[in-house]
Structure formats: structure tokens, C-alpha cells
């Protein structure tokens, strides 16, 4: 693919206003042939559910495959690393921000419910809860569990998101991924090496473009909507949804849940700066207002140390911690 760039420098500038929160001195580059802008120094805090994180050195939000490919080629030509950012609901991004190019996927949108096959073809940037509600309204079963997981389809495929005994790998037929060398491939759950809350896409530089899920059409929409609402109700009764978080901070180690271990260690309510171990659920760390990423990071380490000294078990973070701490 031939890509032409115009740089934000005299003569070649393509200055444009931008919807992103940009810091002073930020620059804007346009990938010619597209209306896609690459911007420098874009604050990432508003892109994460924790509402923390410093600026991206460069940020782009491609809307289609051409724009993703152009973005990857641009990063490669500049010698920059890339980081994928979906809903930002399982990311703790350093206060210092991220170097390289951050590729936000939320503009990758398309949904197709194929009644003949019961398959749902969906782009990586679609919101998982919105998809769950959409499926419910159509009377398609199989996504009720996903309603309270505030991420994207791409993030769910990478993380193997799940709840209430179901998870992404169980309904995934295949995911289309793009590798850094521009090769597209269709991968099955087996190819993706799924396990509890992980896949071999984690720590890889492949981009999830879209997913195909197998659901069950034909149910009464009123029933699926009621079941979906029940899932959300039950989750809201046991998990703190009122303040910014990343959901569960740690993976469950086995027979004992992380929340139980943390509560038994006496850490509920423990606070560092603006970050607090939730009273309602000890495996949630909340941004109670004004928390920095470092506050949250230090609290994660404190919880690990305390739990390890009491139970001789090192809790493994589920949240992806990225950038310098």
C-alpha cells in the first residue's frame, strides 16, 4: 500500500482542530488519501476507565483497515512502537504517558447479525455492552454476561473477557487479525491459545480487526432483555460501579478468590493518595478522585506484598500495566 503523509511543519502543514484532549505544543499529521489524523501529545486519561494516564507521544483513531495499515506503516517508518487502546477498561497507563504511536480502536465500527447462520460479525471497536443490549433487543442469546464489561470487542478477544461462568472464547468462531508486516489472518479460539482471562494476543503486536461470534437467535427479546438486565443488576450489587476502576485488578488464583484473600488481609478501604481498595469488593481498586496512575500502581504493589506475606501467594495483575512506573 502506498502511503503519503503531510507533516505538521511549514509548507506541508495540515493543521486541523481535533476532538482529542491535546497538550500545548501538540502537532497534527494527516495521512494523505485518508481523513485520518495522527496527533502528538494527546492525553490518555479520558480514554481509560481509571481516568488516569499521561499523554501519548502520538495518537491515532483509524476508522477502517486502510487507515490502520497506514498508521502502522507510518509508525514503522518513524521507528516507533505501537500500543493498541480499546475501551481502556483494563489498562493502567503511566502518568508519564506512552512513547510511540497509540492506536485507539473505538472508531472501528460495524455490526452484522446474520440470521441465517446465527453469527454476529463485528468490528473490533464496537462496545461490548452495547452489543449485548443490541443482541438482547433482537432476541439473540449468548451475550447477556457481557453487559457490564465496559470494553471493546477487540479488548474482549485479547483478554478473553468473561463473567458469570461465560467468556469470549466460548462464543468466538474466529477473529481477524493484522500483523505488523501487514498480513491478515483468521484465527480460531484454538489458534489464540485461550485460557482464563488471557490469550496469546496479549503482549503480541497483532491488531484484532474484527470478530465473528456464534449466538442463538430466535428467543423472545423480552426474555433476553430481562436476563441481560438481571446480569447487570447482580453485578452492580456486588461490584462498585460508581467510581472509576479497571474491574478486577488481580486474576483469581484458584480456589480462593483474590477479593477474599485481600479482604482477609484486612485491606478493604486501604488508600494511597486517591486510590482505594473498594469496601464493596476488595479486588477492585477505585480512583476516588484525583488518583494518579502512580497511586494506583503503588496500591497494587502494596496489596501484592501484604497478601504474599500473609498467604505466601503473589497475586497476578489482570490489569495491563503499561509505560514507566
Ligand X SMILES: C=C(O[C@H]1[C@H](O)[C@@H](CO)O[C@H](OP(=O)(O)OP(=O)(O)OC[C@H]2O[C@@H](n3ccc(=O)[nH]c3=O)[C@H](O)[C@@H]2O)[C@@H]1NC(C)=O)C(=O)O
Ligand Y SMILES: Cc1cc2nc3c(=O)[nH]c(=O)nc-3n(C[C@H](O)[C@H](O)[C@H](O)COP(=O)(O)OP(=O)(O)OC[C@H]3O[C@@H](n4cnc5c(N)ncnc54)[C@H](O)[C@@H]3O)c2cc1C
Ligand Z SMILES: NC(=O)C1=CN([C@@H]2O[C@H](COP(=O)(O)OP(=O)(O)OC[C@H]3O[C@@H](n4cnc5c(N)ncnc54)[C@H](OP(=O)(O)O)[C@@H]3O)[C@@H](O)[C@H]2O)C=CC1
Query: In the complex with ligand X, which residue's Cβ is closer, 171 or 258?
Result: 258
Task: Quickly tell me which residue has 484458584 as its cell.
Answer: 254
Counting contacts by CB under 6 A, is residue 154 touching ligand Z?
Answer: no
Could you say which of 6, 14, 34, 49 contacts ligand Z (CB under 6 A)? 49
C-alpha gyration radius of the chain: 20
Cα–Cα distance measured from residue 6 to residue 4, given in angstroms and rounded to the nearest whole number: 7
Counting contacts by CB under 6 A, is residue 323 touching ligand Y?
Answer: no
Counting contacts by CB under 6 A, is residue 245 touching ligand Y?
Answer: yes
Query: In the complex with ligand X, which residue's Cβ is closer, 9 or 202?
Result: 202
Residue from 119, 197, 206, 245 carrying the catalytic annotation: 197
318 a catalytic residue? yes
Q: Least distance to ligand X from the beta carbon of 115, Å? A: 29
Could you tell me which stretch among 14-22, 23-31, 82-90, 251-259 binds ligand Y (CB under 6 A)? 82-90
Query: In the complex with ligand Y, which residue's Cβ is closer, 8 or 176?
Result: 176
Counting contacts by CB under 6 A, is residue 48 touching ligand Z?
Answer: no
Residues 6 or more apart whose Cβ sits within 8 Å of residue 122: 110, 111, 112, 131, 153, 210, 211, 212, 213
Please state whether 135 falls in left (phi above 0), alpha (psi between -120 and 50) or beta. alpha
Counting contacts by CB under 6 A, is residue 54 touching ligand Z?
Answer: no
Cα–Cα distance measured from residue 61 to residue 39, given in angstroms and rounded to the nearest whole number: 10
Residues 6 or more apart whose Cβ sits within 8 Å of residue 6: 12, 13, 14, 29, 30, 32
Query: In the complex with ligand Z, which residue's Cβ is closer, 127 or 141?
Result: 127
197 a catalytic residue? yes
Residues 6 or more apart whose Cβ sits within 8 Å of residue 37: 16, 18, 28, 29, 30, 31, 60
Note the residues at the interface with ligand X (CB under 6 A).
Answer: 163-164, 235, 238, 247-248, 251-252, 257-260, 263, 281-283, 318
Could you say which of 148, 155, 259, 323 contacts ligand Z (CB under 6 A)? 148
Judged by DSSP in three states, 128 sits in helix
Cα–Cα distance measured from residue 102 to residue 304, given in angstroms and rounded to the nearest whole number: 29
Active site residues: 197, 248, 318
Residues that bind ligand Z (CB under 6 A): 49, 127, 129-130, 133, 148, 150, 241, 244-245
Amino acid at each position: 500500500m502506498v502511503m503519503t503523509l503531510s507533516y505538521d511543519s511549514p509548507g506541508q502543514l495540515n493543521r486541523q482542530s481535533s476532538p482529542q484532549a491535546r497538550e500545548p505544543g501538540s502537532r497534527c499529521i494527516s495521512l494523505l488519501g485518508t481523513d485520518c489524523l495522527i496527533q502528538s501529545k494527546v492525553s490518555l486519561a479520558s480514554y481509560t476507565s481509571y481516568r488516569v494516564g499521561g499523554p501519548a507521544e502520538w495518537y491515532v483513531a483509524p476508522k477502517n483497515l486502510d487507515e490502520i495499515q497506514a498508521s502502522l506503516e507510518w509508525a514503522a517508518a518513524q521507528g516507533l512502537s505501537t500500543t493498541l487502546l480499546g475501551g481502556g477498561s483494563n489498562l493502567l497507563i503511566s502518568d508519564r504517558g506512552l512513547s510511540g504511536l497509540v492506536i485507539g480502536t473505538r472508531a472501528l465500527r460495524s455490526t452484522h447479525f446474520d440470521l441465517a447462520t446465527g453469527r454476529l460479525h463485528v468490528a473490533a471497536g464496537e462496545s461490548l455492552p452495547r452489543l449485548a443490549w443490541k443482541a438482547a433487543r433482537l432476541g439473540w442469546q449468548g451475550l447477556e454476561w457481557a453487559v457490564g464489561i465496559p470494553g471493546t470487542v477487540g479488548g474482549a478477544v485479547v483478554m478473553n473477557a468473561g463473567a458469570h461462568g461465560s467468556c469470549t472464547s466460548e462464543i468466538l468462531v474466529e477473529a481477524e487479525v493484522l500483523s505488523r508486516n501487514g498480513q491478515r489472518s483468521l484465527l480460531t479460539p484454538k489458534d489464540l491459545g485461550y485460557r482464563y482471562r488471557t490469550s496469546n494476543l496479549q503482549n503480541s503486536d497483532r491488531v484484532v480487526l474484527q470478530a465473528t461470534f456464534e449466538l442463538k437467535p430466535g428467543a423472545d427479546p423480552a426474555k433476553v432483555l430481562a436476563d441481560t438486565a438481571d446480569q447487570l443488576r447482580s453485578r452492580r450489587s456486588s461490584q462498585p460501579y460508581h467510581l472509576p476502576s479497571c474491574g478486577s485488578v488481580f486474576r483469581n488464583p484458584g480456589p480462593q478468590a483474590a477479593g477474599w484473600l485481600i479482604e482477609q488481609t484486612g485491606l478493604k478501604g486501604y488508600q494511597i493518595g486517591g486510590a482505594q481498595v473498594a469496601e464493596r469488593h476488595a479486588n477492585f481498586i477505585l480512583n476516588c478522585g484525583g488518583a494518579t496512575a502512580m497511586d494506583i500502581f503503588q496500591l497494587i504493589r502494596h496489596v501484592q506484598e501484604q497478601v504474599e506475606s500473609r498467604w505466601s501467594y503473589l497475586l497476578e495483575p489482570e490489569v495491563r500495566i503499561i509505560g514507566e512506573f
